[in-house]
Amino acid sequence: MGQQRSGPTGHLAWTAEQYVTLGRSLLDLVLNRPQWVHRIVETIDFIDDRRFSRHVSVDFTIPAWEIYRQCETVLPKGTYIIPVALLSRQRLKRFDIVDESSAALPVLTRPQNQALDDAMLINGKKLVELLEKQLALATVAGGEHALRSPEQSDTRRIVDKLSNDAKLLVNRVTEELKNSFFLCTLIRGCPGDRRVIKYSYEDAPRRFHLAARAKVWPRLLRTVGWLAFPIDIPCPALWYAPSYHVENALPDDLFFESGQLVALPLGTSTRGIANR
């Protein structure tokens, strides 16, 4: 009997073992995003006061890292998997994704993305366990002389730092995946190639709910559009690259009274920002 396959048929019908391999490659990219993603430019193009289109371009280099290139054992020759975005788990409207020449790119299905997210977390847990095991071995090897031996002390300190860093990074990815998923696409190329991927989809701003004790007239004026209404537009791409640029485009009948870009830790509520 062969291994049970997951997902649809064809060249994307991966086995459970292949998902783990791809998850290992993706984890290498996700944990080191600033090292291969160079710049992200995002345009928020308002259609009306309740809808807007996101247009995002991602400038990156296909890494030549050994762990990442393990995906070559699963994918067709010259094809690489890229976690291009962190998106909320909602139905994407009018989604489109192309490369720098406007050629359409394939994206994975939701079950495939979910399986890859799970595989990343499995590999993250294994990474932390491996580093903790190495830390234990370094401690045993040092014994009572660990503090007096510079070599053993340095080894223990380095492995200890790697273990703690890995835990923080893996915990961050776990937190990101609670309400989101990494959108993965496949792209043709070679390690070291500088590429650009562009994607877009329709989204909606989140309106702040005004307190019941708010004055009646301001509430009424906001309802009919005669007074500015506070909104919240999450920009998850902000955390995806060392360089991030965002701009807004508005139709003639809309305008911003004021705005601010606020960097919040994952899971932090945006309540109260409108009152600052």
User: Is the domain of 54 the same as that of 111?
Assistant: yes
Same domain as 143, residue 195 = no
- Is the residue at 154 inside a domain? yes
Q: For residue range 43-97, what is the model confidence (pLDDT) as tens digits?
A: 989 888 788 899 999 999 999 999 899 999 999 999 999 999 888 777 778 999 9
Instruction: Give me the pLDDT at residue 251, please.
Output: 80
Place of tokens 């290992």: 24
End-to-end CA distance of the chain: 63
Looking at the fold, whether 66 and 157 belong to one and the same domain comes out as no
Distances (CA, A) of 190 to 11, 64, 123, 268: 19, 8, 25, 39
Q: What is the DSSP letter of 253?
A: T
Residues 182, 113 contacting (CB under 8 angstroms): yes
Across 102-111, 172-181, 185-194, least confident range: 172-181
211 within domain boundaries: yes
108 in the same domain as 194: yes
Parent domain of 146? 127-176
Domain boundary among 135, 153, 176: 176
The Cα–Cα gap between 94 and 179 comes to: 21
* Position 32 pLDDT exceeds 80: yes
The dihedrals phi and psi of 4, each to the nearest 5 degrees, come to -70, 135
In the block, residue with structure tokens 């994975």: 108
Question: So what's the pLDDT on residue 199?
Answer: 95
The pLDDT-based confidence of 135 (bands split at 50, 70, 90) is low
Q: In the chain, helix, strand, coil percent, each to 5?
A: 35, 25, 35
Please state the φ and ψ torsions of residue 171, each to the nearest 5 degrees.
-65, -35
DSSP 247: E
